[in-house]
């Protein structure tokens, strides 16, 4: 079974803080993704990575950065958290090589005060 884990289920931060969200997958998947999920807006792609040290912007990258130093780990960074970044953050991974089924982590609910 593929397992995607996220470092925190709930996180509360203050405006202006730097925030790190960590995601780890244990199935040697090539691709990893970060989404945010908000009521009425569905899942929106922030960034994704198809290889170590490679990253591509998704649909809403502003205010975020990512890091993929190791194949199994994909980090989402909020350089200076703002209240409009309060959301549910979901990490996913997929095998690649035309196998594009994505496996999701449990999510991190981030509140920025």
Partner 1 sequence: GESVGLHLPTLSVQEGDNSIINCAYSNSASDYFIWYKQESGKGPQFIIDIRSNMDKRQGQRVTVLLNKTVKHLSLQIAATQPGDSAVYFCAENLSLDSSYKLIFGSGTRLLVRP
Q: Which two tokens stand for residue 111?
A: 């509140």
Neighbours of 21 (CB within 10 A): 21
If one asks whether residue 50 binds partner 1 (CB under 8 A), the answer comes out as yes
| From candidates 7, 73, 109, 111, binder to partner 1 by CB under 8 A | 109
Contact 6, 23 (CB under 8 A): yes
Should residue 66 be labelled a site residue for partner 1 when binding is judged by CB under 8 A? no
Considering beta carbons, is residue 67 or 86 the nearer one to partner 1? 86
Total chain residues near partner 1 (CB under 8 A): 28
Backbone angles phi, psi at 25, to 5 degrees: -125, 150
Torsion-angle region of residue 22: left (phi > 0), alpha (psi -120 to 50) or beta?
beta
Does residue 3 interact with partner 1 by CB under 8 A?
Answer: no
**69 interacts with partner 1 by CB under 8 A:** no
- Give every CB contact of residue 66 below 8 A, 6+ residues apart in sequence: 34, 46, 47, 49, 55, 74, 75, 76, 77
Per rule CB under 8 A, is residue 7 in the interface with partner 1?
A: no
> Which listed residue (11, 13, 72, 104) binds partner 1 by CB under 8 A?
104
The binding site for partner 1 (CB under 8 A) comprises: 4, 31, 33, 37, 39-43, 45, 48, 50, 58, 88, 90, 92, 94, 96, 98, 100-107, 109
């Amino acid at each position: 079974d593929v397992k995607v884990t996220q470092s925190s289920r709930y996180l509360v931060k203050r405006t202006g803080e730097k925030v790190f969200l960590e995601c780890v997958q244990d199935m040697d998947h090539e691709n990893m993704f970060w989404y945010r999920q908000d009521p009425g807006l569905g899942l929106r792609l922030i960034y994704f990575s198809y290889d170590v040290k490679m990253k591509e912007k998704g649909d809403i990258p502003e205010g975020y950065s990512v890091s993929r130093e190791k194949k199994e780990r994909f980090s989402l960074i909020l350089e200076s958290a703002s209240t409009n970044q309060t959301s549910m953050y979901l990490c996913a991974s997929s095998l690649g090589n035309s196998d594009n089924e994505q496996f999701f982590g449990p999510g991190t609910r981030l509140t920025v005060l």
